[in-house]
Amino acid sequence: MISTNPIRISEVAKQEILETLSTNKIPDVYGLRVGVKGGGCGAQFLLGFDLPTENDQIYVIDKIKVIIDKRHLMYVIGTEVDFEETEHGAGFTIVK
């Protein structure tokens, strides 16, 4: 486990993540995967619960296990995971 945190998690997102883990009885071996899909101008951020692999770095941020593929690390450093509720619905966002 690494001690410096490459990303931030807002207080609202933290509560939603912990509630989701508890409500869905997601085992402790899973963590919150943060990464990217695609490349260049078409890259999109990924967010979901997953198992770590040998290519991953594992961080504990605000009591949440965060999994980041080593190849994605430079793309996600400095981002913040947040949770927003709008008239169109609610969901997680990643802000750079």
Percent of the chain topping pLDDT 70: 94
Please tell me the distance from the alpha carbon of residue 4 to that of residue 25, in angstroms, as a whole number: 28
- Among residues 15, 12, 11, 72, which one has the least CA distance to residue 47? 72
AA identity, residue 81: V
The whole-number average pLDDT for the span 6-35 is 96
pTM for the predicted model, two decimal places: 0.89
pLDDT digits (tens, 9 = 90+) for 53-74: 999 999 999 999 999 999 999 9
Ordered by where they begin, the domains of the chain are 8-95 (2.60.300.12)
